[in-house]
Structure 1
Amino acid sequence: MLRRVILPLIFGIGGFAVLMGLGLWQLQRLAWKEGVLAEIDARIGSAPVALPAAPDAAADRYLPVVVRGVFDGTELRVLASSRDTGAAYRMIAAFDTDDGRRVLIDRGLLPVETPPVPIAGQAATVVGNLHWPDEIDSYTPPPDLSANLWFARDVPAMAEALGTEPVLVIARTIDGPDLAAQPLPVDTRDIPNNHLGYAVQWFGMALVWAGMTVFLLWRIRRRTN
Protein backbone atom coordinates (compact mmCIF):
# COMPACT_ATOMS: atom_id res chain seq x y z
CA MET A 1 0.00 0.00 0.00
CA LEU A 2 2.86 2.40 0.82
CA ARG A 3 4.11 2.29 -2.77
CA ARG A 4 0.66 3.21 -4.06
CA VAL A 5 0.24 6.24 -1.82
CA ILE A 6 3.77 7.66 -1.78
CA LEU A 7 3.55 9.43 -5.18
CA PRO A 8 0.07 10.97 -4.60
CA LEU A 9 1.20 12.00 -1.11
CA ILE A 10 4.34 13.74 -2.41
CA PHE A 11 2.34 15.38 -5.19
CA GLY A 12 -0.34 16.51 -2.74
CA ILE A 13 2.09 17.91 -0.17
CA GLY A 14 4.12 19.65 -2.89
CA GLY A 15 1.07 21.26 -4.47
CA PHE A 16 -0.26 22.36 -1.09
CA ALA A 17 3.11 23.92 -0.21
CA VAL A 18 3.31 25.79 -3.51
CA LEU A 19 -0.22 27.19 -3.20
CA MET A 20 0.33 28.23 0.42
CA GLY A 21 3.58 29.89 -0.62
CA LEU A 22 1.79 31.89 -3.30
CA GLY A 23 -0.79 32.99 -0.73
CA LEU A 24 1.92 34.12 1.68
CA TRP A 25 3.69 35.94 -1.14
CA GLN A 26 0.49 37.86 -1.88
CA LEU A 27 0.25 38.85 1.80
CA GLN A 28 3.79 40.19 1.55
CA ARG A 29 2.81 42.09 -1.57
CA LEU A 30 -0.23 43.44 0.30
CA ALA A 31 1.98 44.83 3.06
CA TRP A 32 4.30 46.38 0.46
CA LYS A 33 1.39 47.93 -1.48
CA GLU A 34 -0.17 49.36 1.67
CA GLY A 35 3.17 50.98 2.47
CA VAL A 36 3.36 52.48 -1.02
CA LEU A 37 -0.19 53.83 -0.75
CA ALA A 38 0.57 55.31 2.66
CA GLU A 39 3.58 57.11 1.18
CA ILE A 40 1.48 58.43 -1.70
CA ASP A 41 -1.25 59.62 0.69
CA ALA A 42 1.36 61.40 2.80
CA ARG A 43 2.79 63.10 -0.28
CA ILE A 44 -0.61 64.11 -1.63
CA GLY A 45 -1.50 65.80 1.65
CA SER A 46 1.82 67.55 2.26
CA ALA A 47 2.32 71.30 2.01
CA PRO A 48 2.15 72.63 -1.58
CA VAL A 49 5.25 74.03 -3.24
CA ALA A 50 5.89 76.18 -6.29
CA LEU A 51 5.55 74.50 -9.66
CA PRO A 52 8.89 72.89 -10.61
CA ALA A 53 10.71 74.38 -13.58
CA ALA A 54 10.68 71.06 -15.44
CA PRO A 55 8.18 68.66 -13.85
CA ASP A 56 9.00 64.99 -14.29
CA ALA A 57 6.19 62.46 -14.71
CA ALA A 58 7.92 59.92 -12.45
CA ALA A 59 9.66 62.03 -9.84
CA ASP A 60 6.92 64.65 -9.45
CA ARG A 61 3.78 62.50 -9.66
CA TYR A 62 1.29 63.58 -6.94
CA LEU A 63 3.50 66.53 -5.94
CA PRO A 64 1.36 69.19 -4.20
CA VAL A 65 1.75 72.56 -5.91
CA VAL A 66 0.26 76.03 -5.81
CA VAL A 67 -0.09 78.15 -8.96
CA ARG A 68 -1.45 81.66 -9.38
CA GLY A 69 -2.65 83.17 -12.59
CA VAL A 70 -5.58 83.55 -14.98
CA PHE A 71 -7.82 81.16 -16.89
CA ASP A 72 -7.80 82.21 -20.54
CA GLY A 73 -11.17 80.61 -21.30
CA THR A 74 -10.09 77.64 -23.41
CA GLU A 75 -10.83 74.22 -21.98
CA LEU A 76 -11.63 70.61 -22.81
CA ARG A 77 -14.39 68.33 -21.62
CA VAL A 78 -13.50 64.78 -20.59
CA LEU A 79 -16.46 62.44 -20.18
CA ALA A 80 -16.61 61.06 -16.64
CA SER A 81 -19.02 60.17 -13.86
CA SER A 82 -19.18 60.08 -10.09
CA ARG A 83 -21.46 58.71 -7.42
CA ASP A 84 -22.53 62.22 -6.42
CA THR A 85 -22.98 63.90 -9.80
CA GLY A 86 -23.71 61.01 -12.15
CA ALA A 87 -22.70 61.70 -15.74
CA ALA A 88 -20.33 64.66 -15.82
CA TYR A 89 -17.42 66.28 -17.59
CA ARG A 90 -13.96 66.78 -16.19
CA MET A 91 -13.17 70.35 -17.14
CA ILE A 92 -9.53 70.71 -18.23
CA ALA A 93 -8.62 74.36 -18.64
CA ALA A 94 -5.61 76.29 -19.89
CA PHE A 95 -4.11 78.46 -17.16
CA ASP A 96 -1.62 81.30 -17.62
CA THR A 97 0.49 81.60 -14.49
CA ASP A 98 1.77 84.85 -13.05
CA ASP A 99 5.33 83.83 -13.89
CA GLY A 100 4.63 83.41 -17.60
CA ARG A 101 3.93 79.71 -17.89
CA ARG A 102 0.91 77.98 -19.39
CA VAL A 103 -0.31 74.73 -17.85
CA LEU A 104 -3.40 72.54 -17.66
CA ILE A 105 -5.77 72.70 -14.69
CA ASP A 106 -8.23 69.90 -13.98
CA ARG A 107 -10.96 72.09 -12.48
CA GLY A 108 -13.12 69.14 -11.44
CA LEU A 109 -16.50 67.73 -12.39
CA LEU A 110 -19.36 69.57 -14.04
CA PRO A 111 -22.68 67.66 -14.42
CA VAL A 112 -23.57 67.27 -18.08
CA GLU A 113 -26.82 69.16 -17.62
CA THR A 114 -25.09 72.14 -15.98
CA PRO A 115 -24.08 74.89 -18.41
CA PRO A 116 -20.41 75.90 -18.05
CA VAL A 117 -19.58 79.25 -16.49
CA PRO A 118 -17.42 81.59 -18.59
CA ILE A 119 -13.92 81.53 -17.13
CA ALA A 120 -11.99 83.76 -19.54
CA GLY A 121 -9.95 86.33 -17.63
CA GLN A 122 -10.80 84.85 -14.22
CA ALA A 123 -7.87 85.12 -11.82
CA ALA A 124 -7.39 82.29 -9.35
CA THR A 125 -5.02 80.58 -6.97
CA VAL A 126 -5.05 76.84 -7.49
CA VAL A 127 -3.76 74.33 -4.98
CA GLY A 128 -3.57 70.78 -6.29
CA ASN A 129 -1.37 67.88 -7.28
CA LEU A 130 0.65 67.16 -10.38
CA HIS A 131 -0.52 64.02 -12.13
CA TRP A 132 -0.09 62.20 -15.43
CA PRO A 133 -3.14 59.87 -15.48
CA ASP A 134 -2.74 56.55 -17.28
CA GLU A 135 -6.22 56.27 -18.78
CA ILE A 136 -5.55 55.38 -22.40
CA ASP A 137 -5.88 51.83 -23.69
CA SER A 138 -6.72 50.14 -26.97
CA TYR A 139 -10.46 50.57 -26.31
CA THR A 140 -10.34 54.33 -25.70
CA PRO A 141 -12.04 56.22 -28.54
CA PRO A 142 -10.17 59.18 -30.03
CA PRO A 143 -11.44 62.58 -28.91
CA ASP A 144 -14.34 64.15 -30.79
CA LEU A 145 -12.66 67.45 -31.51
CA SER A 146 -15.70 68.93 -33.25
CA ALA A 147 -17.73 68.48 -30.04
CA ASN A 148 -14.76 69.26 -27.78
CA LEU A 149 -15.35 65.90 -26.10
CA TRP A 150 -12.58 63.63 -24.81
CA PHE A 151 -12.89 60.16 -23.34
CA ALA A 152 -9.71 60.03 -21.24
CA ARG A 153 -7.13 62.42 -19.86
CA ASP A 154 -4.17 62.26 -22.21
CA VAL A 155 -1.83 64.97 -20.91
CA PRO A 156 0.46 65.32 -23.96
CA ALA A 157 -2.48 65.39 -26.39
CA MET A 158 -4.49 67.83 -24.26
CA ALA A 159 -1.45 70.08 -23.87
CA GLU A 160 -0.97 70.13 -27.64
CA ALA A 161 -4.65 70.94 -28.18
CA LEU A 162 -4.61 73.86 -25.75
CA GLY A 163 -1.04 75.03 -26.39
CA THR A 164 0.26 74.43 -22.87
CA GLU A 165 3.12 72.62 -21.22
CA PRO A 166 2.41 68.88 -20.77
CA VAL A 167 1.74 69.56 -17.10
CA LEU A 168 -1.60 68.84 -15.40
CA VAL A 169 -2.53 70.18 -11.97
CA ILE A 170 -5.55 68.42 -10.52
CA ALA A 171 -7.20 71.06 -8.38
CA ARG A 172 -7.82 70.48 -4.69
CA THR A 173 -8.99 74.02 -4.06
CA ILE A 174 -9.51 76.98 -6.36
CA ASP A 175 -9.42 80.33 -4.61
CA GLY A 176 -11.25 82.67 -6.92
CA PRO A 177 -14.69 83.13 -8.48
CA ASP A 178 -17.25 80.33 -8.49
CA LEU A 179 -16.40 78.35 -11.63
CA ALA A 180 -19.25 75.83 -11.20
CA ALA A 181 -17.14 72.67 -11.48
CA GLN A 182 -16.60 70.69 -8.27
CA PRO A 183 -12.90 69.93 -7.68
CA LEU A 184 -12.14 66.22 -7.57
CA PRO A 185 -8.77 65.97 -5.81
CA VAL A 186 -6.35 63.18 -6.63
CA ASP A 187 -6.25 60.32 -4.12
CA THR A 188 -5.27 56.65 -3.93
CA ARG A 189 -8.75 55.15 -4.30
CA ASP A 190 -8.22 54.41 -7.99
CA ILE A 191 -4.87 52.69 -7.46
CA PRO A 192 -5.59 48.92 -7.52
CA ASN A 193 -4.72 46.88 -4.45
CA ASN A 194 -6.09 43.38 -4.97
CA HIS A 195 -3.42 41.40 -3.15
CA LEU A 196 -5.70 40.37 -0.26
CA GLY A 197 -8.20 38.89 -2.69
CA TYR A 198 -5.45 37.04 -4.51
CA ALA A 199 -4.13 35.68 -1.21
CA VAL A 200 -7.58 34.39 -0.25
CA GLN A 201 -7.85 32.68 -3.65
CA TRP A 202 -4.47 30.93 -3.28
CA PHE A 203 -5.24 29.82 0.29
CA GLY A 204 -8.64 28.55 -0.86
CA MET A 205 -7.02 26.58 -3.67
CA ALA A 206 -4.53 25.13 -1.15
CA LEU A 207 -7.39 23.90 1.04
CA VAL A 208 -9.14 22.38 -1.98
CA TRP A 209 -5.88 20.72 -3.02
CA ALA A 210 -5.41 19.31 0.47
CA GLY A 211 -8.98 18.01 0.51
CA MET A 212 -8.57 16.36 -2.89
CA THR A 213 -5.31 14.74 -1.75
CA VAL A 214 -6.93 13.34 1.39
CA PHE A 215 -9.84 12.04 -0.66
CA LEU A 216 -7.50 10.37 -3.16
CA LEU A 217 -5.50 8.70 -0.40
CA TRP A 218 -8.73 7.47 1.18
CA ARG A 219 -9.84 5.99 -2.15
CA ILE A 220 -6.48 4.23 -2.60
CA ARG A 221 -6.61 2.82 0.91
CA ARG A 222 -10.19 1.65 0.40
CA ARG A 223 -9.33 -0.13 -2.84
CA THR A 224 -6.30 -1.75 -1.25
CA ASN A 225 -8.35 -3.06 1.66
Structure 2
Amino acid sequence: MIPGGGKRAFLLGLCLLASVLFSGLGVWQLERRAWKLDLIERVEARIHAPPVAPPEPGTWASLSPADVEYRWVRVTGTLLHDRATLVDALTELGPGAWLVTPLRTAQGIVLINRGFVPHDWKAQSNSAAGQEAAEVTITGLLRLSEPDGRILRPNRPAEERWFSRDVPAIARARGLTNVAPFFVDAEATGSAMGYPRGGLTVVQFRNTHLIYALTWFGLAALSITGLVLLLLPAQKRR
Protein backbone atom coordinates (compact mmCIF):
# COMPACT_ATOMS: atom_id res chain seq x y z
CA MET A 1 0.00 0.00 0.00
CA ILE A 2 1.06 3.59 -0.67
CA PRO A 3 1.67 5.60 2.55
CA GLY A 4 -0.52 8.64 3.17
CA GLY A 5 2.14 11.12 2.02
CA GLY A 6 3.01 8.98 -0.99
CA LYS A 7 -0.63 8.64 -1.97
CA ARG A 8 -1.10 12.41 -1.81
CA ALA A 9 1.99 12.96 -3.94
CA PHE A 10 0.73 10.40 -6.46
CA LEU A 11 -2.66 12.14 -6.71
CA LEU A 12 -0.96 15.53 -7.06
CA GLY A 13 1.16 14.22 -9.91
CA LEU A 14 -1.85 12.58 -11.53
CA CYS A 15 -3.93 15.78 -11.37
CA LEU A 16 -1.03 17.85 -12.71
CA LEU A 17 -0.43 15.45 -15.59
CA ALA A 18 -4.16 15.30 -16.41
CA SER A 19 -4.51 19.09 -16.42
CA VAL A 20 -1.55 19.48 -18.80
CA LEU A 21 -2.77 16.65 -21.05
CA PHE A 22 -6.38 17.87 -21.23
CA SER A 23 -5.28 21.46 -21.84
CA GLY A 24 -3.03 20.31 -24.67
CA LEU A 25 -5.88 18.36 -26.24
CA GLY A 26 -8.14 21.40 -25.99
CA VAL A 27 -5.58 23.60 -27.75
CA TRP A 28 -5.12 20.91 -30.42
CA GLN A 29 -8.88 20.87 -31.08
CA LEU A 30 -8.90 24.66 -31.45
CA GLU A 31 -6.09 24.36 -34.01
CA ARG A 32 -8.06 21.64 -35.82
CA ARG A 33 -11.12 23.91 -35.82
CA ALA A 34 -9.14 26.74 -37.42
CA TRP A 35 -7.84 24.30 -40.06
CA LYS A 36 -11.34 22.96 -40.74
CA LEU A 37 -12.85 26.44 -41.10
CA ASP A 38 -10.09 27.36 -43.56
CA LEU A 39 -10.74 24.15 -45.52
CA ILE A 40 -14.49 24.84 -45.67
CA GLU A 41 -13.86 28.38 -46.88
CA ARG A 42 -11.50 27.20 -49.65
CA VAL A 43 -13.85 24.43 -50.79
CA GLU A 44 -16.80 26.83 -50.83
CA ALA A 45 -14.80 29.12 -53.11
CA ARG A 46 -13.96 26.21 -55.45
CA ILE A 47 -17.46 24.81 -55.84
CA HIS A 48 -18.70 28.23 -56.94
CA ALA A 49 -15.82 28.81 -59.38
CA PRO A 50 -16.04 28.10 -63.14
CA PRO A 51 -14.65 24.77 -64.46
CA VAL A 52 -10.96 24.53 -65.34
CA ALA A 53 -8.79 21.94 -67.06
CA PRO A 54 -7.76 19.01 -64.82
CA PRO A 55 -4.18 18.81 -63.51
CA GLU A 56 -1.57 17.88 -66.11
CA PRO A 57 0.01 14.39 -65.89
CA GLY A 58 3.35 15.92 -64.88
CA THR A 59 1.76 17.23 -61.66
CA TRP A 60 -0.14 14.07 -60.70
CA ALA A 61 2.56 12.80 -58.32
CA SER A 62 2.54 16.02 -56.30
CA LEU A 63 -1.19 16.65 -56.03
CA SER A 64 -2.30 18.08 -52.71
CA PRO A 65 -5.89 17.50 -51.52
CA ALA A 66 -5.93 21.00 -50.06
CA ASP A 67 -5.28 22.47 -53.51
CA VAL A 68 -7.38 20.42 -55.92
CA GLU A 69 -10.21 18.43 -54.34
CA TYR A 70 -13.75 19.64 -55.06
CA ARG A 71 -12.55 21.85 -57.89
CA TRP A 72 -14.80 22.00 -60.95
CA VAL A 73 -13.01 20.54 -63.98
CA ARG A 74 -13.92 19.86 -67.59
CA VAL A 75 -12.46 16.87 -69.46
CA THR A 76 -12.86 15.69 -73.03
CA GLY A 77 -12.31 12.19 -74.34
CA THR A 78 -13.88 8.84 -75.17
CA LEU A 79 -15.74 6.76 -72.59
CA LEU A 80 -14.61 3.12 -72.33
CA HIS A 81 -18.01 1.59 -71.51
CA ASP A 82 -16.70 -1.98 -71.58
CA ARG A 83 -14.41 -1.22 -68.61
CA ALA A 84 -16.97 0.39 -66.33
CA THR A 85 -17.12 -0.47 -62.61
CA LEU A 86 -20.10 -0.44 -60.25
CA VAL A 87 -19.23 0.85 -56.77
CA ASP A 88 -21.69 0.35 -53.90
CA ALA A 89 -23.48 3.58 -52.97
CA LEU A 90 -26.17 4.85 -50.62
CA THR A 91 -27.63 8.19 -51.70
CA GLU A 92 -30.74 10.32 -51.30
CA LEU A 93 -32.21 8.13 -54.07
CA GLY A 94 -31.68 4.98 -51.99
CA PRO A 95 -29.21 2.09 -52.25
CA GLY A 96 -27.52 1.37 -55.54
CA ALA A 97 -24.14 1.95 -57.16
CA TRP A 98 -21.91 4.58 -58.68
CA LEU A 99 -21.17 3.93 -62.35
CA VAL A 100 -17.43 4.60 -62.73
CA THR A 101 -16.31 4.65 -66.38
CA PRO A 102 -12.80 5.35 -67.72
CA LEU A 103 -12.47 8.34 -70.04
CA ARG A 104 -9.59 8.18 -72.49
CA THR A 105 -8.22 11.70 -72.96
CA ALA A 106 -5.21 13.11 -74.81
CA GLN A 107 -3.31 13.21 -71.49
CA GLY A 108 -4.27 9.77 -70.19
CA ILE A 109 -7.16 7.97 -68.49
CA VAL A 110 -9.47 9.74 -66.06
CA LEU A 111 -12.08 7.75 -64.13
CA ILE A 112 -15.50 9.37 -64.34
CA ASN A 113 -18.18 8.72 -61.74
CA ARG A 114 -21.07 9.18 -64.15
CA GLY A 115 -23.57 8.99 -61.30
CA PHE A 116 -25.97 6.79 -59.38
CA VAL A 117 -27.74 3.73 -60.79
CA PRO A 118 -30.13 1.35 -58.97
CA HIS A 119 -29.01 -2.21 -58.25
CA ASP A 120 -31.08 -3.71 -61.06
CA TRP A 121 -29.79 -1.23 -63.65
CA LYS A 122 -26.86 -3.45 -64.69
CA ALA A 123 -29.11 -6.17 -66.06
CA GLN A 124 -31.27 -3.64 -67.88
CA SER A 125 -28.85 -1.14 -69.28
CA ASN A 126 -25.16 -1.56 -68.44
CA SER A 127 -24.00 -2.96 -71.74
CA ALA A 128 -21.26 -1.75 -74.04
CA ALA A 129 -23.24 -3.01 -77.02
CA GLY A 130 -24.56 -0.16 -79.07
CA GLN A 131 -22.63 2.46 -77.10
CA GLU A 132 -21.01 4.95 -79.46
CA ALA A 133 -17.30 5.66 -79.10
CA ALA A 134 -17.90 9.37 -79.70
CA GLU A 135 -15.88 12.10 -78.04
CA VAL A 136 -17.67 13.65 -75.07
CA THR A 137 -17.00 16.56 -72.74
CA ILE A 138 -17.77 16.02 -69.07
CA THR A 139 -17.92 18.62 -66.30
CA GLY A 140 -17.70 17.60 -62.67
CA LEU A 141 -16.00 17.86 -59.31
CA LEU A 142 -12.47 16.55 -58.96
CA ARG A 143 -12.25 13.98 -56.17
CA LEU A 144 -9.28 12.10 -54.72
CA SER A 145 -9.05 8.32 -54.63
CA GLU A 146 -10.80 6.46 -51.79
CA PRO A 147 -8.41 3.61 -50.92
CA ASP A 148 -9.25 0.19 -49.48
CA GLY A 149 -13.05 0.34 -49.30
CA ARG A 150 -15.12 1.21 -46.24
CA ILE A 151 -14.71 0.27 -42.58
CA LEU A 152 -15.37 -3.49 -42.24
CA ARG A 153 -16.17 -3.62 -45.97
CA PRO A 154 -12.92 -3.79 -47.94
CA ASN A 155 -12.94 -3.79 -51.71
CA ARG A 156 -12.80 -7.30 -53.20
CA PRO A 157 -11.78 -6.84 -56.85
CA ALA A 158 -11.66 -10.59 -57.56
CA GLU A 159 -15.36 -10.80 -56.63
CA GLU A 160 -16.30 -7.51 -58.29
CA ARG A 161 -17.32 -6.11 -54.90
CA TRP A 162 -16.42 -2.44 -54.69
CA PHE A 163 -17.26 -0.27 -51.69
CA SER A 164 -15.12 2.77 -52.50
CA ARG A 165 -13.82 4.52 -55.58
CA ASP A 166 -10.25 3.30 -55.19
CA VAL A 167 -8.63 4.62 -58.38
CA PRO A 168 -5.41 2.52 -58.41
CA ALA A 169 -7.29 -0.69 -57.55
CA ILE A 170 -9.95 -0.11 -60.22
CA ALA A 171 -7.24 0.72 -62.77
CA ARG A 172 -5.43 -2.56 -62.02
CA ALA A 173 -8.64 -4.58 -62.17
CA ARG A 174 -9.54 -3.08 -65.56
CA GLY A 175 -6.03 -3.26 -67.05
CA LEU A 176 -5.72 0.52 -67.38
CA THR A 177 -2.42 2.42 -67.54
CA ASN A 178 -1.48 6.10 -67.33
CA VAL A 179 -4.45 6.73 -65.04
CA ALA A 180 -4.89 9.99 -63.14
CA PRO A 181 -4.81 9.51 -59.32
CA PHE A 182 -8.18 11.25 -58.99
CA PHE A 183 -11.67 10.73 -60.35
CA VAL A 184 -14.38 13.16 -61.44
CA ASP A 185 -17.93 13.23 -60.04
CA ALA A 186 -19.99 14.17 -63.11
CA GLU A 187 -22.60 16.90 -62.80
CA ALA A 188 -26.27 16.22 -63.42
CA THR A 189 -26.93 15.82 -67.15
CA GLY A 190 -30.68 15.23 -67.33
CA SER A 191 -30.37 11.85 -69.06
CA ALA A 192 -33.56 10.86 -70.88
CA MET A 193 -33.49 7.43 -69.21
CA GLY A 194 -32.88 8.96 -65.80
CA TYR A 195 -29.71 6.96 -65.15
CA PRO A 196 -26.90 7.32 -64.45
CA ARG A 197 -27.90 10.23 -62.22
CA GLY A 198 -25.02 12.65 -61.70
CA GLY A 199 -24.80 15.70 -59.49
CA LEU A 200 -25.26 13.84 -56.20
CA THR A 201 -21.94 14.75 -54.61
CA VAL A 202 -22.38 15.74 -50.97
CA VAL A 203 -19.92 18.46 -49.99
CA GLN A 204 -20.15 18.56 -46.22
CA PHE A 205 -17.50 18.65 -43.52
CA ARG A 206 -18.17 17.64 -39.94
CA ASN A 207 -16.99 20.40 -37.62
CA THR A 208 -17.42 19.54 -33.93
CA HIS A 209 -13.96 20.65 -32.85
CA LEU A 210 -15.26 23.47 -30.62
CA ILE A 211 -17.40 21.01 -28.64
CA TYR A 212 -14.42 18.69 -28.20
CA ALA A 213 -12.20 21.62 -27.17
CA LEU A 214 -14.69 22.76 -24.51
CA THR A 215 -14.93 19.17 -23.24
CA TRP A 216 -11.14 18.88 -22.89
CA PHE A 217 -10.84 22.30 -21.23
CA GLY A 218 -13.65 21.32 -18.82
CA LEU A 219 -11.75 18.18 -17.84
CA ALA A 220 -8.59 20.26 -17.43
CA ALA A 221 -10.48 22.62 -15.10
CA LEU A 222 -11.68 19.65 -13.01
CA SER A 223 -8.12 18.35 -12.80
CA ILE A 224 -6.86 21.75 -11.66
CA THR A 225 -9.64 21.91 -9.06
CA GLY A 226 -8.52 18.54 -7.73
CA LEU A 227 -4.92 19.77 -7.66
CA VAL A 228 -5.88 22.87 -5.67
CA LEU A 229 -7.90 20.80 -3.18
CA LEU A 230 -4.97 18.44 -2.64
CA LEU A 231 -2.64 21.40 -1.99
CA LEU A 232 -4.94 22.85 0.66
CA PRO A 233 -4.22 21.89 4.29
CA ALA A 234 -6.26 18.92 5.45
CA GLN A 235 -8.33 21.10 7.81
CA LYS A 236 -9.43 23.44 5.02
CA ARG A 237 -10.20 20.51 2.67
CA ARG A 238 -12.70 19.25 5.27
So what's the TM-score if we normalise by structure 1? 0.73
Give me the CA root mean square deviation. 3.8
Structure 1 residues 95-134: aligned runs within 5 Å: 95-97=103-105, 99=106, 101-114=108-121, 115-116=124-125, 118=127, 120-121=131-132, 124-134=136-146
2:38 is the counterpart of 1:30: no
1:113–1:80 CA distance, 2 compared to 1 (3 A): same
More helix by share: 2
2:81 is the counterpart of 1:81: no
Shift of the alpha carbon at 1:106?
A: 0.6
The count of residues paired between Structure 1 and Structure 2 equals 217
CA distances 1:39-61 after superposition (whole Å, capped 9, x unpaired): 13322432111234315232644
Q: Distance in 2 between matches of 1:69 and 1:163?
A: 15
1:169–1:14 CA distance, 2 compared to 1 (3 A): closer
Q: Distance in 2 between matches of 1:113 and 1:221?
A: 77
SS at match of 1:129: strand
Aligned AA for 1:49? V
- In the other structure, the counterpart of 1:141 is 154
SS at match of 2:88: strand
Once the two structures are overlaid, the 10-residue window that deviates more, 15-24 or 69-78, is 15-24
> Which ranges in structure 2 are unaligned for 5 or more consecutive residues?
none
Cα contact 1:90–1:106 (8 A) shared by 2: yes
1:28–1:60 CA distance, 2 compared to 1 (3 A): closer
Shift of the alpha carbon at 1:62?
A: 3.5
Q: Distance in 2 between matches of 1:10 and 1:186?
A: 50
1:105–1:165 CA distance, 2 compared to 1 (3 A): farther
2:169 is the counterpart of 1:157: yes
2:197 is the counterpart of 1:182: yes
Once the two structures are overlaid, the 10-residue window that deviates more, 65-74 or 13-22, is 13-22
So what's the TM-score if we normalise by structure 2? 0.70
Shift of the alpha carbon at 1:173?
A: 3.8
Determine what percentage of the aligned residue pairs are the same residue. 28
